[in-house]
Amino acid sequence: MLDAESMPVEVVASGGALGAEIRGVDLAAGWDEALAAALRRALQGHMVLFARDQNLDEPAQVHLTKIFGEPVEHVRRQPDRPLKEIFLISNIRRDGEPIGALGHGTIPFHSDLSYMERPGTVSVLYAVEVPSAGGGTQWCNCHAAYEALDEDTRQRLHGLEAVHRHPVPEQNPPEPVQHPVVRLHPADGRRSLYVSPHLTSHIVGLSEAESRRLLKDLYAHMEEPRFVWTHAWRPGDLVVWDNRPTMHRRLAFDPVERRLMKRTQVFNAERPLAG
Ligand code: SIN
């Protein structure tokens, strides 16, 4: 265990529901095992990490992502994408065609790739261009939201599974996947709610009305300000988050402004564990 003096980075908690700033590190300069271990430990504790004023090219972002696991190679075609591990999120158009995904509107709360049998674990997002207002990203601490539930609700949720589907049909696997509503983190055994308004379609074994009501109540609880932290982006920001105990949403911005982000994503070899 490193003491504060030998920590290769300064970790400053956001003071909000989750999140911490990493200071005193140039992430483009590469990493050694001491830095990697410090970042993994900080991520486990804070669920979301951000570093300002980073100057990362694509190979450096892919290399950095490897601290947390093997980066996914994306299959979706993006002509401006320099490396197959980099996925562009942008509203910018070239010759009338968007160069990246997700446009300018609000993307409701979700945990990345939860519609896959083996969803992503850690996501990394690097800001190249950001709008002058709006376009922030909010994360929900789904572990704290679970812990704050009353005992009856926790008992009711244990053993339940939910179906996850992407709203764009072609992005889904052929068979809908089910995941536990309460998910256990394999590294620390902490439990988190694992449902989201964007990607969860229904809870298995409940009537449609019951499932809708339960999910509505859970989302209202999870989206309470005490569980949510907002990141206001600046160019050069790098944010890393763990999708297992969190969900996130991108806020809308004026479509005449430009936003360009580069995302890398760690592929998960395991299925979510029931809590
Ligand atoms: C996402 O939903 O993964 C994108 C987040 C963002 O663009 O801020």
Class of CATH domain 4-107+121-131+232-268: alpha beta
Domain locations in the chain?
4-107+121-131+232-268, 142-222
Q: What is the DSSP letter of 164?
A: E
Six-digit token pair at 117? Answer: 């049998």
**The pLDDT of residue 74:** 79
Q: Do 240 and 48 meet the contact criterion of CB atoms below 8 Å apart?
A: yes
- From first to last of its 275 residues, what are the pLDDT tens digits of the chain? 444 445 689 999 999 999 999 999 999 999 999 999 999 999 999 999 999 999 999 999 999 999 999 999 877 778 777 799 999 999 999 999 999 999 999 999 999 999 999 998 999 999 999 999 999 999 999 999 999 999 999 999 999 999 999 999 998 999 999 999 999 999 999 999 999 999 999 999 999 999 999 999 999 999 999 999 999 999 999 999 999 999 999 999 999 999 999 999 998 778 999 98
Closest-CA residue, ligand 1 atom 7, reads: 250
Six-digit token pair at 228? Answer: 């949510």
**The pLDDT of residue 270:** 81
Pick from 130, 229, 239, 250 the residue to mutate for probing ligand 1's pocket: most ligand atoms within 8 Å of its CB.
250
- For 12, 31, 35, 56, 87, the CA distances from 24, given in Å and listed in that order, are 11, 13, 11, 15, 27
User: What's the gap in Å between 128 CA and the centre of ligand 1?
Assistant: 13
User: What's the gap in Å between 123 CA and the centre of ligand 1?
Assistant: 10
Q: Which phi and psi angles does 14 have, rounded to 5°? A: -70, -25
**The pLDDT of residue 5:** 47
CA 249 – CA 139 distance, rounded (Å): 7
pTM for the whole structure: 0.95
Residues with CB under 6 A from ligand 1: 89, 102, 107, 112, 125, 137, 248, 250, 261
- For 8, 13, 75, 130, 173, the CA distances from 53, given in Å and listed in that order, are 18, 18, 30, 13, 38
Range list of β-strands (E), the chain: 10-13, 20-23, 48-51, 87-90, 93-94, 97-98, 101-102, 107-110, 122-129, 137-141, 161-164, 177-180, 182-184, 191-193, 200-203, 228-231, 238-242, 246-250, 260-265, 273-274
